[in-house]
Structure 1
Amino acid sequence: MFIDYYEILEISPNANSETIERIFRYFAMRYHPDNRETGNESRFSEIVEAHNALRDPVKRAQYDILYREHLGLRHELAEGARDGGGMERDSVIQANLLSLLYVRRRRDVNSPGIGDEELERLSGCPREHLEFHLWYLKAKGFIGRTENGTFAITVDGIDHAGTKHGQDRPDATRLLNHAD
């Protein structure tokens, strides 16, 4: 797990060595375990660790490489969260997976599963992209693993897919209403 030493010391990544030392001394006195009013042993340990990594120019340069990589990852996560289409795409992929598994179960109720590689091929999604969707559908109880390790749709998955399908087709609801 990445630890943000700049955040711990509450300084800018552009801080010079004098600033690092000054802030370290301030926090060290404040959080030292011997300080009866504000002492905090775990906070003190974090501050010492951050100081040790940032005071040495070589260690700091190595840390800054990791820091920039971490910032890039945070930026990617923030961009992904702002992209409203991501969740819509995920819903489409999940609906397609349920449809594939539904058709397979419908065709052969005794052998309803589809293997990982076949799911990858049929869905057009690489395995690493499918993992999230398979995890989600499995956690919701919409799919499960069969005895031979393949994925199969569950009763809840069929009900869920049927509900979604009915919402997308108002004529199906209208037909049900006219049957009364």
Structure 2
Amino acid sequence: MFTDFYELLEISPNANSETIERIFRYFAMRYHPDNRDTGDDSRFSEIVEAHNTLKDPVKRAQYDIQYRDNLGLRRELTEEASNTKGLERDVVIQAKLLALLYVRRRQDVNNPGIGDDELERLSGCPREHLDFHLWYLKAKSWIARTENGTFAITVEGIDRANAEHRREATITTKLLDHAD
């Protein structure tokens, strides 16, 4: 896991060596294990590691490459989390998967499963995204793996699909009533 040494030392990535040294001394005294009031072994070790990395120009240059890569990942994460269309799309995909598995169970209660590849094709969701949705639906106990390894809707999943259908029907009815 990536550790942000700049954040740990509470300094700017543009901090010069004098600033790094000054801040290190402050935190080292504060968190040193011999300090009875604020000593903290693990925090002290982190501070020493950050200092040793950032004070060495070669190590710092290598670390800064990782730092920039991590910043890019955080930016992507923040942008995706801010995009409500992505969340809406996920809800639609999960509802579609439940609907597919619901229909399959209704068509053949004794052989209700659909395989991974078929779910990918029917849902139009790429494998790398489908894994997230299948994990979520399994964790909610709305789907499960069958004995032959396919996915099938559970009783809880059928209840969820039915509840969603009733909610959507109620909303549609109210919208139509107000349109008159």
Unpaired runs of 5+ residues, structure 1, are 175-180
Residue type of the alignment partner of 1:24? F
C-alpha displacement at 1:83, in angstroms? 1.2
The answer to whether residue 67 in structure 2 is matched with residue 70 in structure 1 is no
| Unpaired stretches in structure 2, ≥5 consecutive residues | 175-180
SS of match in other structure, 1:152: strand
Question: How big is each residue's C-alpha offset from its partner over 1:15-60, in whole Å with a ceiling of 9 and x where there is no partner?
Answer: 0111111111111122111223322221111100000111111111
Tell me the equivalent position of 1:154.
Answer: 154
Aligned twin of 1:165: 165
Q: Percent identity?
A: 76
1:125 partnered with 2:125:
yes
Shift in Å, 1:88: 1.1
Q: Distance in 2 between matches of 1:102 and 1:40?
A: 55
Q: C-alpha displacement at 1:170, in angstroms? A: 3.1
Structure 2 CA distance for aligned equivalents of residues 172 and 159 of structure 1: 20
* 1:106 aligned partner: 106
1:166 and 1:173 in contact (8 A); partners too? no
Counterpart for residue 177 of structure 2: none
Residue 100 (structure 1) shift: 0.7
Q: CA deviation at 1:173?
A: 7.9
Q: Does 1:37 align with 2:18?
A: no
Residue-by-residue CA offset, 1:106-160 (whole Å, 9 max, x unaligned): 1111110001111111111111101111111111111000001100001111111
Indicate the SS of the match to 2:152.
Answer: strand
- Farther-moved stretch of structure 1 (5-14 vs 32-41): 32-41
CA spacing shift, 1:140–1:173, aligned 2, 3 Å: farther
Q: Contact 1:101/1:114 (CA < 8 Å) preserved in 2?
A: yes
The residue type paired with residue 69 of structure 1 is D
SS state at 1:76 partner:
helix
The 1-side partners of 2:32 and 2:96 are apart by 57
Please tell me whether the aligned partners of residues 143 and 152 of structure 1 are also in contact (alpha carbons under 8 angstroms): yes
SS of alignment partner, residue 169 of structure 1: helix
Partner of 1:48: 48
Structure 1 contact 166–172 (Cα < 8 Å) conserved: no
Number of residue pairs matched? 174
- Inter-partner Cα distance in structure 2 for 1:111 and 1:96: 19
Q: What residue is the counterpart of 2:138 in the other structure?
A: 138
